[in-house]
Amino acid sequence: MIKVLFVCLGNICRSPMAQIVFENLVKEYNLEDEFEIDSAGTEGYNEAIGAGIHHGTKDVLKRNGVNFKEHFSRKMRKADYEYYDYIIAMDSENIEDIKSIIGFDKDNKIKRLLDYTKNPRNIKDPWYSGNFDETYEDVKKGCMALFEAIYG
C-alpha cells in the first residue's frame, strides 16, 4: 500500500483539493486498492471548529467535473511522518511548518507537489489569492507528475 499525505496550512483549500484530484486519478487507473490518500494542515484552528472543504475549492472541483466527498480539516500529527510514504506540501512554508511538527526529515519524504513537475514552485494559497482556478491547474499538474513518479 502506497500512503500519500497532502499538506497545506489549514487543510480546507489546497491539500484537500490535491487529495481529491489524486484520488480521482488513482481511481481512473483502477488502483484504489494500492493507495491510501489523505490530507492535513499544519495549523489546528480549522480542525478545532470542524471546518470542511472551502466553498471555492468545492466550486472549482464541480466546474471541472471532479467527484468528491466532504473532508474535514485535521492537523498533521508527528505520527503521520512514520505512517505515510509521501508527505506532499503545497509550498515551502508548509515544509518548514511540517518540520516543526515532525522534526528532521530523516527519510526525505517531504516535497512540494510541484517539485515533481518540470517547473518546481509553490502552489499559491487561494484563501489569499482568491484564484481557485490557478490553484486547481497547478494541483492537477502536480498530481499527474507525482502519480508518474510513483507509478512510472
Which residues are known catalytic residues? 8, 14, 125
DSSP 32: G
d(CA 88, CA 85): 10
The DSSP line for 35-102 is EEEEEEESSSHHHHHT----HHHHHHHHHTT---------B--HHHHHH-SEEEESSHHHHHHHHHHH
Q: Is 4 within 8 Å of 86 (Cβ atoms)? A: yes
Place of cell 489523505: 38
